[in-house]
């Protein structure tokens, strides 16, 4: 098996604490499966600003381009909050997404049965939730032209954003979503606002066309307002959801509360470079930020980072069976009652970041 190169960008705050735990688990996978991984670390975010003056040094960008996948922590913190727009830590992540054309954002939201009480929803509603939101990440309202505010002479103003999609942009994210649904429970919900927006009418038309190549996947179209209600009323009805940028931003955060804690949520952003979207350069990161309130204390939950590493195995390295072992290792540790502070319940055993990483690594090894 060829050596696979993984760019490691821990970033700031708890990114520096949780990413080493994900690497710990990936090293166990390599040892047990016979795969060969090479990890190379790069600076990004505030750490890069301190060292080089900018949030994404060219050396980091080149490292990412030359790697099979990127494992990213989180960026930002109070120290850099007053920096000018172009030099803020998050510009590093935004530039990576843009230049690597990372157009499909995958965010699973799974409610682990032993953590049901951490969710604000009733057990009867949330138990069994296991869904994936595929959000288009590089088009739509956030990037459409024209945009801006026009100030009038009479003191009034006019602001505009443009929701714009080409059929090609819709088609490529739809294909990713169908591929994802095919590997899950073969049900895809496409979310739009086709009763009002012409962009959504094109979205629906293109997704329906793409569906012809996936006869084994059941497709339904749901309006975004209905979807928002159904996500909290009947979350178990969903398997894979695909939607445009703005709707996906909102719905994926809504879905996140189903899982109980930010510390449990992984994500992947798949790119357009490479022979197929899933073989292109891709970035894997926990959904959470740098958590300045707990950074440096060794208490952050590393599970989101470890589950992001599992997504990396599945989507970039074609190691789905190994990804399942990592996910099963996480479940076993939770079943044994170990918890970081964010998911602590009565009767469980409190552990810190690195102890949680050790426990999961040990369970993963035992699964080979
Ligand atoms: P946050 O996700 O960092 O924290 C929100 C809350 O969740 C905090 O109370 C934190 O302690 C808790 N939390 C988050 N992850 C946790 C974990 N793994 N284990 C235990 N508890 C966890 O969001 P925020 O406070 O809004 O932002 C803090 C900083 O992070 C800001 O500078 C923000 O810009 C940045 N941020 C970065 C990213 C990214 O790099 N992708 C994403 C979101 C926020």
Ligand 1, residue 291: give the atom nearest the CA.
3
Ligand 1, residue 45: give the atom nearest the CA.
40
Whether 130 is a known active-site residue: answer: no
Q: Does the Cβ of 9 fall within 6 Å of ligand 1?
A: no
Q: Encode pLDDT of 334-347 as tens digits.
A: 999 999 999 988 89
CA of 300 to the centre of ligand 1 (A): 10
Predicted confidence at residue 273, as pLDDT, reads 56
Given pLDDT bands bounded at 50, 70 and 90, which one contains residue 117?
A: confident
pLDDT at residue 75 above 60? yes
Residue nearest to atom 6 of ligand 1 (CA): 291
**What is the number of domains present in the chain?**
2
pLDDT at residue 112 above 80? yes
pLDDT at residue 190 above 50? yes
Q: Does the Cβ of 295 fall within 6 Å of ligand 1?
A: no
Q: How far apart are CA 231 and CA 255, in angstroms?
A: 7
Given pLDDT bands bounded at 50, 70 and 90, which one contains residue 85?
A: confident
Task: Record the tokens describing residue 21, joined without a space.
Answer: 């735990």
Same domain as 144, residue 19: no
Ligand 1 pocket test, pick from 92, 259, 288 with the greatest ligand atom count within 8 Å of Cβ, gives 288
Same domain as 104, residue 26: yes
CA of 291 to the centre of ligand 1 (A): 4
Q: Does the Cβ of 145 fall within 6 Å of ligand 1?
A: no
HSE toward the beta carbon, residue 43, CA cutoff 13 A = 14
Q: Encode pLDDT of 205-222 as tens digits.
A: 999 999 999 999 999 999
pLDDT at residue 274 above 70? no
Q: Does the Cβ of 77 fall within 6 Å of ligand 1?
A: yes
Same domain as 161, residue 106: no
Which residue among the candidates 249, 284, 325, 338 is catalytic per the annotation?
Answer: 249
Q: How far apart are CA 284 and CA 105, in angstroms?
A: 10
Predicted confidence at residue 259, as pLDDT, reads 79
Same domain as 203, residue 136: yes
Q: Does the Cβ of 342 fall within 6 Å of ligand 1?
A: yes
Q: Does the Cβ of 22 fall within 6 Å of ligand 1?
A: no
Predicted confidence at residue 272, as pLDDT, reads 67
Nearest CA among 112, 46, 53, 116 for reference residue 81: 46
Same domain as 336, residue 219: no
CA of 329 to the centre of ligand 1 (A): 25
Mean pLDDT score, 53-75: 95
pLDDT at residue 309 above 60? yes
Same domain as 253, residue 139: yes
Same domain as 284, residue 255: no
Given pLDDT bands bounded at 50, 70 and 90, which one contains residue 280?
A: low
Predicted confidence at residue 276, as pLDDT, reads 47
What CATH number corresponds to the domain at position 193? 3.40.718.10
State the burial class of residue 276 (Cβ atoms within 10 Å of its Cβ: 0-12, 13-18, 19+). Answer: exposed
Ligand 1, residue 292: give the atom nearest the CA.
28
Same domain as 184, residue 131: yes
Q: Identify the residue whose tokens are 């710990």.
A: 24
Last residue of a domain, one of 201, 236, 259: 259
Same domain as 365, residue 280: yes
CA of 293 to the centre of ligand 1 (A): 9
> What is the residue range of 215's domain?
120-259
Ligand 1 pocket test, pick from 91, 97, 269, 290 with the greatest ligand atom count within 8 Å of Cβ, gives 290
Task: Record the tokens describing residue 187, joined without a space.
Answer: 């049900």
Whether 154 is a known active-site residue: answer: no
Poorest-confidence range of 4-13, 40-49, 81-90? 81-90
What share of the chain has pLDDT > 70, as a percent? 98
Q: Does the Cβ of 93 fall within 6 Å of ligand 1?
A: yes
What sign does the dihedral 60-65-69-74 (CA atoms) show? positive
Whether 225 is a known active-site residue: answer: yes
Same domain as 174, residue 80: no
Last residue of a domain, one of 190, 224, 259: 259
Predicted confidence at residue 278, as pLDDT, reads 47
Task: Record the tokens describing residue 309, joined without a space.
Answer: 């590493």
Q: What is the CA radius of gyration of the chain?
A: 21
Largest CA distance in the chain: 72
Judged by phi (left if over 0) then psi (alpha if -120 to 50, else beta), residue 283 lies in beta
Q: How far apart are CA 264 and CA 110, in angstroms?
A: 9
Residues contacting 318, CB < 8 A, separation 6+: none
State the burial class of residue 96 (Cβ atoms within 10 Å of its Cβ: 0-12, 13-18, 19+). Answer: buried
Last residue of a domain, one of 208, 237, 259: 259
Whether 253 is a known active-site residue: answer: yes
CA of 13 to the centre of ligand 1 (A): 9
Ligand 1, residue 18: give the atom nearest the CA.
18
Same domain as 136, residue 252: yes
Same domain as 171, residue 107: no
Q: Cα angle at 114 between 113 and 118, to 5 degrees? A: 95
State the average pLDDT for the chain. 94
């Amino acid at each position: 098996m060829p050596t696979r190169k993984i760019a490691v960008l821990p970033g700031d705050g708890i990114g520096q604490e949780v990413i080493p735990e994900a690497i710990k688990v990936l090293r166990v996978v390599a040892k047990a499966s016979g795969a060969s991984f090479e990890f190379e670390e790069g600076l990004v975010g505030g750490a890069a600003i301190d060292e080089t003056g900018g949030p994404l040094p060219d050396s980091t960008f080149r490292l990412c381009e030359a790697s099979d996948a990127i494992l990213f922590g989180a960026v930002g913190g109070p120290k850099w909050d007053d920096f000018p727009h172009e030099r803020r830590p998050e510009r590093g992540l935004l530039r990576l997404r843009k230049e690597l054309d990372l157009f499909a954002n995958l965010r699973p939201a799974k409610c682990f049965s032993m953590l049901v009480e951490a969710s604000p929803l009733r057990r009867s509603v949330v138990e069994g939730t296991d869904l994936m939101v595929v959000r288009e990440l590089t088009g739509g309202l956030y990037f459409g032209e024209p945009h801006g505010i026009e100030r009038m002479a009479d003191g009034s103003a006019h602001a505009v954003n443009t929701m714009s999609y080409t059929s090609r942009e819709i088609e490529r994210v739809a294909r990713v979503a169908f591929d994802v649904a095919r590997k899950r429970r073969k049900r895809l919900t496409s979310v739009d606002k086709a009763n009002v927006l012409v962009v959504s009418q094109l979205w629906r038309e293109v997704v329906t066309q793409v569906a012809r190549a996936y006869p084994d996947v059941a497709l339904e179209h749901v309006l975004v307002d209905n979807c928002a209600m159904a996500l909290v009323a009947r979350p178990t009805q969903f398997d894979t959801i695909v939607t445009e940028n703005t709707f996906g931003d909102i719905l994926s955060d809504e879905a996140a509360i189903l899982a109980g804690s930010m510390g449990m949520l992984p994500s992947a952003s798949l790119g357009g470079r490479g022979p197929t979207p899933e073989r292109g350069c891709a970035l894997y990161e926990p959904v959470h930020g740098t958590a300045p309130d707990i950074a440096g204390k060794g208490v952050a939950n590393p599970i989101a980072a470890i589950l992001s590493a599992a997504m990396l195995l599945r989507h970039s390295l074609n190691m789905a069976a190994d990804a399942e072992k990592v996910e099963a290792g996480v479940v076993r540790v939770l079943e044994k009652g170990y918890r970081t502070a964010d998911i602590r319940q009565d009767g469980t055993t409190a552990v810190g970041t690195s102890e949680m990483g050790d426990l999961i690594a040990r369970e993963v090894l035992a699964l080979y």
